[in-house]
Chain A
Amino acid sequence: MSTITQWLGSGADVEARRRMLLGLGSFLLPLLVWCLVSYVPFVWHPKMYVTAPGGVDFFQVGMLVDKPMFREEVADMQKAHQPLPEGYAANPIYLPAPGAVAEAFYNGFVNPPQTSDVPSMPASLWHSIQVIFWGFLISSLIGVPLGILSGTYSAVGRLNEPFVEFFRYLPAPAFGALAVAVLGIYDGPKIAIIVIGTLFQQVLIIANTTRKLEVTIIEAARTLGTKRLGLLTRVVVPGILPDLYRDQRILLGWAWTYLIVAELIGTSSGITWFITQQARYQHFDNVYAAIMTIGIIGFGTDLVLGRLGRRLFPWDSSQDRR
């Protein structure tokens, strides 16, 4: 219960409900704006959807034309005493309405396309999740122990951190071609890009977290008879575990960011491939549905991990309480 939040006017008991409502609002507000823009014809709607071409020879049914041009043509036709074109105000193709996206979302999972040349959303997504999983696992298997060791023993830190610090400035996607040359065109290079993108940050962040462990805790353990390895396994690791867990949650978010690049390397695959394909066919409702699915999975995972964190670390009052 920080004083700052109290000053800003959140009381003790109503706070939980209020926070929940505000949290819900943070999602509903953008949705509301999107609905307004999509469903209220006089808000934005810069295009006209042609329902009847009338006398305009280049108009076709289903065409989206700019409003001024449409008006001009209407005027021209009136002058020429030709049939008038008809249509209604519409948004550009790249802004589908929420309903259309929801429908695409539903169809994407419930009736995936049967044709084999277009990837289905669930299959693409599952493929992406596997790539993320392996990338993050490999990165963590190296990065977590190395980070902890670097933070605990200054010699280990000095031996690798300057290099790691340098390497983290090399953009992971730049290694794409190299990764393909070494690891082939399938999932190998994609996993490698996620590892390269995550690992170096991971070492530095975890080393830092380890260094922040209170010295008195280590000293207390030493006065109680803890020696070398015991200090690492019985004091340092449990001492930083809650923070380590939080770091991993943040790093997992970064891994998702690298996924989008990684999937364009070699043979395109996964959710990024799905998005690119759908955009090429101008199925923007599918594009939005896929992007949102990534968001939902990422946010959902983090929410679950946050809950789990509270279970796992009951002593850590700073595990966030959503």
Chain B
Amino acid sequence: MNLSESALPGYRHQSEAVRARFERIRAREVILEVRGLGKHYRSPQGETEALRGIDFSVHRREFVCVIGPSGCGKSTLIRILAGLDHHTEGEALLDGKPIKGPGQDRGMVFQGYSLFPWLTVKKNVMFGPQMNGHARDDAERDALMWLELVGLEKFADAYPHQLSGGMRQRVAIARALVNQPRILLMDEPFGALDAQSRAKMQSHLIDIWKNIDITVLFITHDLDEAIYLADRILVLKAHPGEVQEVIEVPVPRPRTPGQFSSPEFLATKARLEQLIHPAAEPESDDEQKVKPHLIRLTDVHDNVE
């Protein structure tokens, strides 16, 4: 954060409305607090430090995106918060209580389609409430309500394999939200979707987030997606995974796709690009090992370019 302000005009500059909004967010209680979080993986190949000294907190109904190059520990971080992995240093608190294992207070949406293929859409959504001891009828009523909210009530009796990618992720969101978690953790949930469904899902997610009391921690490697969705963006760097900067997105809400070319948006994007793809990016070791050796397999006169 020691870069001169003049080199990057704008991304820290907030309009009155945006500043007031951040004031309001900061006034809300902290839902998630991460302090000095670290994670070492021990494997036969040796030890990897996936995360080191991660500090941040998320306020109620805040939308926080985590961005960073591949392998910087984004998934590791969110898995620790979901309780699927254990951290080795520091602490992670949800509503002030240390996170130990998975719990109903956190919902998770994975990149891969993690729906239960043997259950219909409705039963997928009913799964959580039933596991948590709700009666069948209550679970069914809740499930139908949430399916309506994500616009899939017509597909209640379909099986996941009959749905498109975007629809499956809607079900996954409904399935996570029906448990009424405090925070929704999403690990590149739209990463496998085509551009069009991805844009649709982004707007849809914002709509959901606006209408219910939910806090979102959203991982992505798509800069536009992060800026479009987030209040704040946590930028990680790799080897070891550390927080590089926390950016307060200056783009005002409500967000529209039209803002993709607004000055605030472009300034933020320029800053993210600078952080994530530094000018002379050295190739990673793995990339260097892969050197394709192309030989001509077509007629020499048959040129395509």
Give residues in A with beta carbon < 8 Å to B.
214, 216-217, 219-226, 230, 234-235, 238-239, 241-242, 313-317
Contact = CB atoms under 8 A, between A and B. Distances in A.
A270 to B, nearest CB: 38
A217 B175 CA distance: 13
Contacts of A317: 161
Interface in B112-126: 112, 114-119
Contacts of A217: 114, 116
Contacts of B90: none
17 contacts: A219-B84, A219-B114, A220-B108, A220-B115, A221-B116, A223-B82, A223-B106, A223-B108, A223-B176, A224-B127, A224-B176, A225-B131, A238-B116, A238-B119, A239-B117, A313-B118, A315-B160
B102 A225 contact: yes
Given A221-B127, A238-B118, 13 more contacts: A216-B114, A219-B84, A220-B115, A221-B116, A224-B127, A224-B128, A224-B175, A224-B176, A225-B104, A315-B117, A315-B118, A315-B159, A317-B161
A220 B159 contact: no
A74 B106 CA distance: 97
Contacts of B112: 214, 216
A194 to B, nearest CB: 31
Interface of B: 82-84, 102-104, 106-108, 110, 112, 114-119, 127-128, 131-132, 159-161, 172, 175-176, 179
Contacts of A223: 82-84, 102, 106-108, 176
B43 to A, nearest CB: 16
Query: Quick one: which of B114, B127, B161, B176 has the most chain A CB within 10 A?
Result: B114
A224 B83 contact: no
Nearest to A224: B128
Nearest to B84: A219
B92 to A, nearest CB: 15
A217 B110 CA distance: 10
Contact of B118 (A222, A224, A230, A239): A239
Nearest to B118: A238
A26 B106 CA distance: 56
A214 B118 CA distance: 13
B23 to A, nearest CB: 33
A12 B19 CA distance: 59
A220 B132 CA distance: 14
Nearest to B175: A224
Contacts of A226: 131
A223 B160 CA distance: 19
Contact of A220 (B83, B114, B161): B114
Nearest to B132: A225
Given A223-B82, A225-B103, A314-B159, A230 B131 contact: yes
Contacts of B176: 223-224
Q: Which 5 A-B pairs have the closest CB atoms?
A: A220-B114, A224-B128, A223-B108, A216-B114, A315-B159
A31 B127 CA distance: 54
Nearest to A315: B159
Nearest to B120: A315
A230 B116 CA distance: 14
Contacts of B114: 214, 216-217, 219-220
B84 A235 contact: no
A187 B63 CA distance: 70
A211 B116 CA distance: 16
Nearest to A235: B116
Contacts of B107: 223
Given A224-B127, A225-B131, A230-B131, A219 B118 contact: no
A220 B179 CA distance: 13
A210 B131 CA distance: 22
Nearest to A231: B131
A220 B189 CA distance: 13
A220 B117 contact: no
Pick from A220, A223, A230, A241 the residue with the most CB of B within 10 Å: A223
A75 to B, nearest CB: 68
Contacts of A234: 127, 131
A225 to B, nearest CB: 4
Contacts of A235: 116
A316 B117 contact: yes
Nearest to B159: A315
A121 B264 CA distance: 87
Contacts of A220: 108, 110, 114-116, 172, 175
A316 B152 CA distance: 21
B289 to A, nearest CB: 27
A219 B106 CA distance: 13
Given A216-B110, A224-B131, A225-B128, A241 B118 contact: yes
A242 B118 CA distance: 9
B128 to A, nearest CB: 4
A315 B112 CA distance: 18
Contacts of B172: 220
Contacts of B175: 220, 224
